[in-house]
Amino acid sequence: MPDIRPALQQAWLTKGLIACVLWPVSLIYGAIVSLRKLLYRFGVFHTQQLPVPVIVVGNVFVGGVGKTPLVIALVKQLTARGLKVGVLSRGYGSSGEGSQSVTPQSSAIEVGDEPVLIARACQVPVCVGKNRFQAGLDLLAQNPNIQVIVCDDGMQHWSLANDLALCVFDERRLGNGWLLPAGPLRESWPLDRSGYSHVITLSTSNFELQNPQRVNEQELVLEKKQEQPKELEQPKAEFVVPRVLADFALQADGTTQSLLTFRGQKVQALAGIGKPQAFFDMLTAQGIALSATQALADHDDMRSIQFVPELGEVLCTEKDAVKLWNYQPTAWAVPLVTEIPQELLDLILLRIGPKLSSTHGHQIT
């Protein structure tokens, strides 16, 4: 059966024929989302609060916008400040029920590829579960020293209260501005803030900033914008946190190699992420000529991947590698690197500070 997702994602950028055909269904979806929010607002459904601050890194645009590299960067920078951090995730594609702890050695098939990647990259406690609140309780029970929890995705998981939501966009911004399935939005924009304590809007690309001075004088290179309906009120990013390739690649056994050494060689690349072409373009921009590319569905299990040795070394993302290395340990993973601006980190610490201090008596430095 052909994968219709690329065609659907392209249709979400404009109000074309496919989007218009699906628009009546999006009205039903929107009504369900609104009803669900009302049920939380009037106490029919309950929002539960964990005893430590919770930071959600999420989005309203369905699919990959760069959340997980941002989570990794945030966890590392909070840890560098001396905080004990834990991570919650849904664990997309996980096979288990209830809550599961994730270690660097966990199977991506059992707990999801992104949680394993976070556990390996950050070396902090990670727990996955459909019920984020219960997963949070289990995470804290197993790791009582945790002072702050970062939730990978979950903006629409209103049963778990958050102290701060980082809403992430990329260059597609709102697409055609319609809700699923006629458009890419999980909920309407601007947000109904009743489900959120505080929201900061971030961009993993360089579209128009609400407060350009907050980028700490980063050199902005405007990306080519997708066609946008003029009547849309587009999101204004408060901070830009672009992703770049690391200057090295690594294999399953820990062997590393400078990315520059792949220049002039035969190289093939694959990506099973939200936007595979973005990874290929990043490699090409580094002067690496790709002899072949394989654009896979997000979270592809990598079991059926075939390579032609004559086409050269294999490059992939770290997210792909947590599965691909089970079958192709000599593939080279190229990490995506995100660095959070200092002013954004200070704002995050300011937001979670009161609850953090009152719960643990920890002074943020």
Q: What is the pLDDT of residue 227?
A: 44
Residue 19, pLDDT above cutoff 90:
yes
Q: Which positions ≥6 away from 259 have C-beta within 8 Å?
A: 245, 246, 247, 248, 249, 286, 288, 334
For residue 301, what pLDDT is reported?
87
Specify the pLDDT at position 298.
86
CA distances 205 to 6, 202, 238, 308, Å, are: 20, 9, 12, 33
Write out the CATH class of domain 54-243+339-360.
alpha beta
Instruction: Determine the Cα–Cα distance for residues 195 and 200; give it in Å rounded to an integer.
Output: 14
208, pLDDT greater than 60: no
- What does the pLDDT look like over 218-274, one tens digit per residue? 333 333 344 444 567 778 889 999 888 999 999 999 999 999 999 999 999 999 988
Residue 128: which region, alpha, beta or left (left: phi > 0; alpha: psi -120 to 50)? beta
pLDDT at 96: 64
pLDDT of res. 356: 83
Higher pLDDT, 193 or 51: 51
Does the structure show a pLDDT above 70 at 364? no
50-71 residue pLDDT tens? 999 999 999 999 988 889 999 9
Mean pLDDT across 98-125: 94
Say if CB 221 and CB 206 are below 8 A apart.
yes
The whole-angstrom separation of Cα 127 and Cα 237 is: 30
Sheet holding 332-334, edge to edge: 256-258, 248-250, 332-334, 313-317, 267-271, 290-295
At a CB cut-off of 8 Å and minimum separation 6, what does 214 contact? 238, 239, 341, 343, 344
Give the angle subtended at the CA of 58 by the CAs of 285 and 139, to the nearest 5°.
115
The model's pLDDT over 283-335, given as tens digits with 9 standing for 90+, comes to 999 999 999 999 998 888 898 888 889 999 999 999 999 999 998 999 999 99
Write the DSSP assignment of 54-84 as a string of letters.
Answer: EEEEE-SBSS-SSHHHHHHHHHHHHHHTT--
Give the list of residues 6+ apart from residue 53 with CB closer than 8 angstroms, or none.
147, 148, 149, 163, 164, 352, 355, 356, 359
Q: Which of helix, strand or coil describes residue 110? A: helix
**What confidence score (pLDDT) does residue 348 get?**
96
* Rg for the chain, CA atoms, rounded: 20
Q: Do 154 and 58 meet the contact criterion of CB atoms below 8 Å apart? A: yes
Give strand pairing partners of 89.
Answer: 128, 152
pTM: 0.88
Per-residue pLDDT at 344 exceeds 70: yes
- Looking at residues 163-175, what average pLDDT do you find? 94
